[in-house]
Structure 1
Amino acid sequence: MPKIGMEEIRKDQVIEAAINAIVSKGLSNLSMKDIATQASVSTGIIYHYFESKEDLLMQVLKASFRQSHEKVMETVGPLKPSQDKLMKHLENINLVPKDNPEYMAVFLNYLGEANHNPKIRDMINKLFNNLTDYIGQYLRNVSDDKQQLKNLPVMIIALGIGLGTMWTLNNQLYDIDEMDQSLKTLISNYLANENGGKSK
């Protein structure tokens, strides 16, 4: 029986081991034995802390999202001007596959399962909704054109996921540092265009 006070440490240890196992084996091939081996614990210890494999996998997804969210809060949150927040957020989004490749690998594995698993789909949709709301909040002062801003949060998220997926699968496809400036220029030009986001 694990010592009292070790519960959170052991849970984090198992979650980290599950992340490593997903990165190395893939979600569809993953077994509790793989995770136990990676964590250097017995499967019984894992089931002591997590009700089932699905429970553990949901906690892994939550932990991955939380780490990504904390990075945004640390770097974007303290900035005051909305334009500065936007540029820093774009920088963060662009660098995710380079700075946190484990997150991208886990995210892509879960994304592949989302169509078949309602719980995973709901959690990913919750992430998208939270990101959209957060970006929308700090964009309010970037432009007076409400129609222009309406779809911008979704566009930013889609660009980030698309670029991150492509670079994760083939990091020779484009220069990620050059893409940082290209992404910022693209969004800045969109905002500078008075007709941006409007149908002609």
Structure 2
Amino acid sequence: MTPRTKEQNEAIRTRRMEQIMRAAAETYVLKGINMEMRDVAAAADLGYGTVYHYYKNKFDLLSDLLNMALDEAEEMGLNYLTKGRPVKDYGIALLRRWIKDPSLFVLYKLACEHFRELPEQEAKVFMERFRQSVITPLGEVLRTASGDSRSDESAFLIIGGLVGCAGLSVYRRSAEMNEHEIVKLLLGSL
């Protein structure tokens, strides 16, 4: 048997990290900050030591998960909020994405709670980045569309409403959600 190449090792590492991230998001949805590394390992169908090989504790794991989710949130914002697409399309895209993979849902949920479960300094950093990446662009669209002088506050309320509605399906692990009806109720005036 020949040894693995550097590329093969990197592909394995990437797959393992994706596996761990998905398991961490699913575990966080079920247990919140009470999740343990052994819960993540079981959900990922990996050995306990394997998860610790990649992350020294749940806060490091959660930090990586949130940073990856913030990158995706920024990309979604660029695709929906800065290209003149309707806010309703953005809302539907978020709801659909949250059902497929809860990692992005975890980010938005924690943001609505001001990342209170994280260490204080880290919470401030994540909140500021979320504000810049999600709230401000959405607020700008709202300001332009309706002249809303409190558009950032309105953006935060919209995100909170979407998170609350999506939670009903995400927590039940149900793919059944009428995202069009949710968006119509929450964003009907836009």
Q: TM-score range by the shorter chain?
A: 0.5 to 0.7
Q: Which runs of 5+ in 1 are unaligned?
A: 188-200
Give the match for residue 164 of structure 1.
163
Contact 2:41 2:47 in 1 (8 A): yes
Matched, 1:54 2:53: no
Report if the CA contact (8 A) 2:139-2:154 is conserved.
no
Partner of 2:19: 13
| AA in 1 matched with 2:91 | I
Partner of 1:197: none
**Post-superposition offset of 1:162:** 2.1
Conserved in 1, the CA contact under 8 Å of 2:17 and 2:54?
Answer: yes
Tell me, in whole angstroms, the C-alpha distance in 2 between the residues paired with 1:136 and 1:108: 18
TM-score when normalising by structure 2:
0.68
Map residues 98-117 of structure 1 onto 2, 5 A cutoff. Answer: 98-101=96-99, 102=102, 103-104=104-105, 107-108=108-109, 114-117=115-118
User: Does the 8 Å contact 1:15/1:60 carry over to 2?
Assistant: yes
Aligned residues between the structures: 172
- What CA distance in whole angstroms lies between the structure 2 residues aligned with 1:111 and 1:21? 19
Q: Distance in 2 between matches of 1:169 and 1:139?
A: 26
List runs of 5+ in structure 2 lacking aligned partners.
Answer: 171-176
1:54-105 deviation per Cα after TM superposition (whole angstroms, max 9, x unaligned): 100111222233333333333445x3xxxx33x2x33322553354232435
* 2:135 equivalent in structure 1: 132
Q: C-alpha separation between the residues in 2 aligned to 1:16 and 1:154?
A: 31
- TM-superposed deviation, 1:27: 1.7
Q: Distance in 1 between matches of 2:150 and 2:35?
A: 37
- Mapped contact 1:139–1:149 kept (Cα < 8 A): yes
2:28 to 22, 31, 42: 22
What does 1:36-51 align with in structure 2 at a 5 Å threshold?
A: 36-51=41-56
The higher radius of gyration belongs to 1
Find out whether 1:120 has 2:118 as its counterpart. Answer: no
Please identify runs of 4+ aligned residues in structure 1 that moved more than 6 A. Answer: none
Which amino acid counterpart does residue 130 of structure 2 have in structure 1?
Answer: L
Structure 1 residues 139 and 7, CA gap change in structure 2 (3 angstroms) = same
Change beyond 3 A, Cα 1:98–1:9? closer
1:194 aligned residue: none
Is the CA contact (8 Å cut-off) linking 2:112 and 2:159 kept in structure 1? no
